[in-house]
A and B are shown apart, each in its own frame.
Chain A
């Protein structure tokens, strides 16, 4: 199983860039790395996904080194509305066509005015 490890919490001031790193030493060859954001009393929502190198969208960037044993979610110029829990997820195939999604405890990001 590709277990993930992230910091439990982070604080940042508004306007700063925030980098959240996730380690996943046992990632499988065909696994993608996906990040989700969750606000209180809501289900998680997809932010970004990548396989290797760098991926960027309108919300964030995802940096993945060549060995793929870690990944870093980068949020540019955070605002108060970015206060949320961020989950790093590495999907895995458990055989017979099934696809298991296991979340860790996530990183609680608090943005300070």
Chain B
């Protein structure tokens, strides 16, 4: 079974804190993604990575950064958390190519107070 594991299911942080969300996949997938999901807005892509140390901005990268030092791990970083970053964060991974499916983690519900 493919597994995408996010480090926390629920997280509460204070405004201004630096926040790390970790994602690990065990299927040697090249591509990894971070999304946030808010009511009525669907899944919005924050950043994605197609190889170690490679990253590309998605649709809403502002206020976020990412790190991919190892193939299996993709980290989302909130440099200075703000209340408008309260959301559900989802990590996903895929193989490269058109015929592929994305596997998602269970999500991290982050609350910034």
Contact = CB atoms under 8 A, between A and B. Distances in A.
B50 A102 contact: no
A8 to B, nearest CB: 9
B35 A99 contact: no
Contacts of A100: 45, 48, 56, 58
A96 interface: yes
Contact of B104 (A41, A43, A49, A106): A43
B33 interface: yes
Nearest to B33: A101
B62 interface: no
Interface stretch (A17-25, A30-38, A59-67, A75-83): A30-38
Nearest to A93: B98
Contacts, number: 80
Nearest to A94: B56
A32 B105 contact: no
Interface in A56-113: 87, 91, 94, 96-106
Contacts of A36: 102
Nearest to A30: B98
B91 to A, nearest CB: 8
Interface of B: 4, 30-31, 33, 35, 40-45, 48, 50-51, 54, 56, 58-59, 88, 90, 92, 94, 96-107, 109
